[in-house]
Amino acid sequence: MNKRLLPFYLALLSLLIVAEGRTQSTDNALTVRLQGTTLDAVLDELNTATQLTLYQNVKSDLNYSGQRDFQQMPISDILDQVLENTFYSHISYRDYGIVIVDRTVIDQEFSAAYYEALGEQVDNGEAAQVIGDISRLSPSGSAIISGIITDVQTGEPVIGATISVEGMDLGAVSEVDGSYELSVTAGTHEIQVDFIGYADYRALIDVKSDGQYNIALDKGALELDEVTIRARAADQSVESAQIGVQTISMNTIKKLPTFMGEVDVVKSFLLQPGVTTIGEGASGFNVRGGNVDQNLIMQDETFIFNSSHSLGFFSTFNSDLIDKVDLYKANIPAQYGGRLVSVMDVEMKDGNFEAFKIKGGIGPISSKLSLEGPIIKDKVSFIGGFRSSYTDWLLNSLSEPELQKSSSFFYDGNFRMTIKPSPNHSIALSAYKSQDDFEYNEEFGFDYSTQFGELSYGWIISDNLFSKFSAVKSQYDSRQSDLDGIDASTVDTQIDYVKLKENIKYIPSEELELNVGVSTIQYDVNPGERNPLDDESVITTKLLENEKGRETAAYVNAQLGLSEAIEIDGGIRATYYQYLGPKTEYQYSDESRPTTAGIIGTELKDGTIQSYSVIEPRVSARLKVTDEASIKAGYSRTSQFISQIFNADSPTPTSQWQLSNRYIKPLRSHNVSIGYFKNFKDNEWETSFELYGRQIDQLFDYQDFADLIVNEHIETELLDGEGRAYGAELSIRKKAGKVNGWLSYTYAKSERQIVGINDGEWYPSNFDKTHDVSLIFNYNPNQRNTLTANINYSTGRPTTPPVGNYRTSGGLIVPIFSDRNALRIPDYFRVDLSYTLGKGYKVDQKFQTSWVISLYNVLGRKNPYSVFFTQAPFNLVQANKFSVLGSVFPSITLNFELL
């Protein structure tokens, strides 16, 4: 008998029990003629004839040459004769089951645990993962399960993972090679595997005897439709001590409705509470009332300074290469620094060490292709991906000659090689390059690119001590070109940096995990260089001096479980920032308020021109009030030493990055949050309610009509002040079932107080949206088909309207505006739909395809991006709304996989 039939037998047994009402008995007489030539075939015939259930695990190659015909003979007697000359015997279980086991086992004394396991075997209708077989269960009723815990993506062993059995004081920790061993009583258990950085793993196992059970941990959130054994919904939201962490599985992201078929990791987070944008096509995102440049966007250990393609319509991340995305929006762990508000941590996949795989996708405006596999099996792997747009067909198909002479092109490419010279050492080499070229009617254009290389070296020093070193070299270049007329010219900006980081992880006990590290970042910024495009241009060359800065930090972060109920995740980060020369520094008559008129001279300085030292405590704590509910609270101090300079609603690709210096102080904020997290129905429903507040005690805004392009004394355009943001977030999420999805609601305020603006009174920031609601509805009638609806509503953001005007002698109407951001544009409402036809069920099929059909803005609603005012008759003004997208955008994308 084949072991693969075991589940079938279990299921059949259950059905038979139900169907027969348990009326059969092993003492009932039976007439049967057996025709099989092997023992297992004969037992199969007997099983069919008896309407009882024979549970057996008999070798398939044993010949049968015994008696063939039985007339009105009790089943137990028939079995006695059939098994007479074999190593097997049989025992009855209650009055409806028979188990065929080794004679050696049968002759021993059976424990209560044995019978309990046997009973579970027969009664259990649930398809728990079966380990071992009941015929080999030791009479003690206990069994040893062993196996290897590995990373599902890389196949790499996971060291130090804790495996435990719910309701029992049992546990084990995986060894250096990922192996573990656990002694349990036979029967059905729920096991749980925890390891930092991996999704919580839970599964039902049905232990029959000693056996092997390998576990593959996923760094991403649990992908419900890919769980092969029954896994209960993770209770990470309740269990984790970190507050304000948002994770969306890549599987969910790929099913969300998209604009023009482009899966967008960054935009997907806009559906989470506390994450907003000022409008379609805008670059970046706003977290809890923060500016877009106050988010740290990381691809592994590399900062991304512009995560947008096509001026903001798409993100630069290729979704096929992403392992996991986390957004820390409240309490940023001490390992991260340099931004005020949030961290989006995008972890890229390692290549497969075992087999080659090709993935790709074809959409209406872009296509992508990725390849991964072993270079040296189990030692060296690679993964590479390339994505490129082809929007020209779209522009050329339009009737406007200007658009036909326009182009918009982008590409991005990733490559990563992972080397494992030994089980305790791993090296990863990554490279990335993206490019955007955008030109309109041969009149103007934007070109910008990001490129970086990253080296990381992981070392397992001992069972509980791990080291990771990383080195990054990155460069972001941008060019804005005016191609036409006498002022044809270019403006270039650039930001380079080198980053070194060492992190030591120490796990002295199950209750404590320590992360200690140091990092240093050396920035080199070209704030602007303007050049005439050709000889006919009247533009003069203007080159600003490069700026240099160094940000050095040391940190320690501890995860400490004080008790079952209380866990603390806290640490401290100390940063020393230096603004470095050589650099010409302007001197002002009033240093506290630099103005152009107040310039009294310049001085060339070298070495450390200005330095700032900051201490940033970060702590988050969890109090578990029940098994499915917890209260969390967090506080963090954050600082930011590099900011993007733009005073429009959204930064352009060429908006320069400005280092903190003598006059431009680092941004600093206090962040607090508290929340109640409650899961229901075995973690199938997840709810949370969070309150947050942020006080930014050092902030700048821009004076009216600030001149920000290639300005050598940019500080004269800035005004100092402070900011505050506060709000409440509610999230209700159904994680499993045919119908799932989530609802998130955010109430938020984001305000500023700047000397020189609105008479020093508090005013709403450009991205202040009081109410924001997202509803995501998924219908999965089966694993392959998914229908997703996304409904989004938000309050209109602030704007500054004209409140009057006057006419100049030349006839020009000069508008007079209200206090800054005194009015709101109309509210935003959008509905999207998508249908995903997933991969086929045949898991061994080499070539698989899936389709995603999206309808973005299905109501065709012309949501206002902004409102502007034009002159109307009788000297009045007319409000006009500007909508970036004014209709429904359908798209269809084909994804494929070649295994």
Q: Footprint of another protein on residues 463-502 (CB under 8 A)?
A: 480, 482, 485-487, 489, 491
3-state DSSP assignment of residue 796: coil
Q: Which of 802, 830, 831, 895 binds another protein (CB under 8 A)?
A: 802
- Region near another protein per CB under 8 A, out of 9-17, 343-351, 439-447, 551-559: 439-447
Contact between 517 and 555 (Cβ < 8 Å): yes
Question: Does 880 sit near another protein (CB under 8 A)?
Answer: yes
Question: What are the φ and ψ backbone dihedral angles of 391, each rounded to 5 degrees?
Answer: -80, -10
Q: What are phi and psi of 733, to 5 degrees?
A: -135, 130
3-state secondary structure of 832: strand
Site for another protein in 405-434 (CB under 8 A): 406
Q: How many other CB atoms are there within 10 angstroms of residue 49's CB atom?
A: 16
- Is 873 a residue that touches another protein (CB under 8 A)? no
Q: Which residue has the tokens 């944008």?
A: 277
Provide φ and ψ at 73, rounded to 5°: -115, 140
Q: Which is nearer to another protein, 487 or 510 (CB)?
A: 487
- Which segment (29-37, 261-269, 623-631, 647-655) binds another protein by CB under 8 A? 647-655
Residue 451 interacts with another protein (CB under 8 A): yes or no:
no
- Closer CB to another protein, residue 517 or residue 594? 594
CB of 766 to another protein, least distance (A): 8
CB of 758 to another protein, least distance (A): 10
If the CB atoms of residues 279 and 338 are measured against another protein, the closer one turns out to be 279
Q: Cα 763 to chain center, whole Å?
A: 34
| CA–CA separation, 110 and 122 (whole Å) | 17
Q: Does 755 bind another protein (CB under 8 A)?
A: no
In the range 230-289, which residues lie near another protein by CB under 8 A?
278-279, 281-282
Q: What is the closest distance, in whole angstroms, from the C-beta atom of residue 376 to another protein in the complex?
A: 49
Report the residue number, 391 or 660, with the smaller CB distance to another protein: 391
How far apart, in whole angstroms, are the C-alpha atoms of residue 738 and residue 787?
10
Site size for another protein (CB under 8 A): 85
End-to-end CA distance of the chain: 31
Tokens of 227: 């769980």
CB of 404 to another protein, least distance (A): 11
Q: For the sheet containing 53-55, what is the strand order?
A: 53-55, 97-102, 88-93
Give the residue with the Cβ less far from another protein, 34 or 491.
491
Q: Contact with another protein (CB under 8 A): which of 335, 644, 746, 866?
A: 866
Q: Which of 229, 593, 881, 899 binds another protein (CB under 8 A)?
A: 881
857 within 8 A of 888, measured Cβ to Cβ: yes
Least distance to another protein from the beta carbon of 314, Å? Answer: 15
Which two tokens mark 101? 């086991």
- In order of 343, 622, 627, the CA distances from 564 in angstroms are 29, 10, 10
Per DSSP, 759 falls in state G
Q: Which tokens is 610 given?
A: 């200005």
Question: What residues from 572 to 631 belong to the interface with another protein (CB under 8 A)?
Answer: none
Query: How far is 730 from 677, CA to CA, in rounded Å?
Result: 10
CB of 664 to another protein, least distance (A): 19
Q: Is 647 in the site for another protein (CB under 8 A)?
A: yes
Residue closer to another protein (CB basis): 655 or 770 = 655
Instruction: Please pick, from the candidates 80, 177, 378, 402, the single residue that binds another protein as defined by CB under 8 A.
Output: 402
Site for another protein in 102-141 (CB under 8 A): none
CB of 440 to another protein, least distance (A): 5
Query: By C-beta, is 482 or 502 nearer to another protein?
Result: 482
Instruction: Give the Cα-Cα-Cα angle 265, 267, 273 (nearest 5 degrees).
Output: 110
* 287, 275 Cβ separation under 8 angstroms: yes
Binding mask 345-374 for another protein (x = CB under 8 A): ------------------------------
Contact between 823 and 864 under an 8 Å Cβ cutoff? The reply is: no
Q: How far apart are CB 309 and another protein at their closest, in Å?
A: 15
> Which of 612, 676, 835, 868 lies at the binding interface for another protein (CB under 8 A)?
868
**Binding pattern to another protein, positions 303-342, x when CB under 8 A?**
--------xx------------------------------
Q: Which of 558, 883, 894, 899 binds another protein (CB under 8 A)?
A: 883
Q: Which of 355, 375, 803, 892 binds another protein (CB under 8 A)?
A: 803
How many CA atoms does the CB half-sphere of 632 hold within 13 Å? 31
Q: For another protein, which is the closer residue by CB, 35 or 596?
A: 596
Rounded to whole angstroms, how far apart are CA atoms 527 and 208? 68
Q: Minimum CB separation from another protein for residue 870, in Å?
A: 9
Token pair listed for 82: 């059939």
Region near another protein per CB under 8 A, out of 174-182, 663-671, 681-689, 875-883: 875-883
3-state DSSP of 465-497: EEEEEEEEEEEEEEEEEECCCCCCEEEEEEEEE
Q: How far is CA 629 from CA 272, 297, 698, in A?
A: 21, 31, 37
Cβ 878 to another protein shortest distance, Å: 6
Q: How far is the CB of 826 from another protein (least distance, A)?
A: 7
Q: Give how far Cα 885 sits from Cα of 256, 260, 607, 807, 859, Å.
A: 18, 12, 50, 35, 11
C-alpha 56: how far from chain center: 46
Residues 693-722 contacting another protein, CB under 8 A: 702-705, 707, 709
Least distance (Å) between residue 517 CB and another protein: 38
Report the half-sphere exposure of 604 (CA within 13 A, side-chain side). Answer: 3
Residues 6+ apart with CB under 8 A from 506: 464, 465, 466, 513, 514, 515, 516
Q: Which of residues 804-863 bind another protein (CB under 8 A)?
A: 804-818, 822-823, 825-826, 860, 862
For another protein, the closer of residues 29 and 872 by Cβ is 872
Which one among 789, 853, 879, 894 touches another protein, defined by CB under 8 A? Answer: 879
- Single out the residue of 652, 695, 848, 849 in contact with another protein (rule: CB under 8 A): 652
Q: Which residues 382-401 are close enough to bind another protein by CB under 8 A?
A: 398-401
Residues within window 517-536 making contact with another protein, judged by CB under 8 A: 532, 536
Q: How many of the other CB atoms lie within 10 Å of CB of 375?
A: 13
| Residue 159: φ, ψ to 5° | -100, 135
From the list 800, 827, 849, 894, which residue makes contact with another protein (rule: CB under 8 A)?
A: 800
Which phi and psi (to 5°) does residue 715 adopt? -65, -20
Of 486 and 565, nearer to another protein (C-beta) is 486
The nearest distance, CB 447 to another protein, in angstroms, is: 13
Q: Could you say whether residue 87 binds another protein (CB under 8 A)?
A: no
Q: Closer CB to another protein, residue 424 or residue 758?
A: 758
Q: Are 889 and 865 in contact (CB under 8 A)?
A: no
Range in contact with another protein (rule: CB under 8 A) among 238-246, 631-639, 845-853, 864-872: 864-872
CB atoms < 10 A from the CB of 679, how many? Answer: 25
Q: Is it true that the peptide bond before 582 is cis, omega within 30 degrees of 0? A: yes
d(CA 873, CA 876): 6
3-state secondary structure at position 525 = strand
In the complex with another protein, the residue whose CB is nearer, 393 or 705, is 705
Footprint of another protein on residues 146-165 (CB under 8 A)?
none
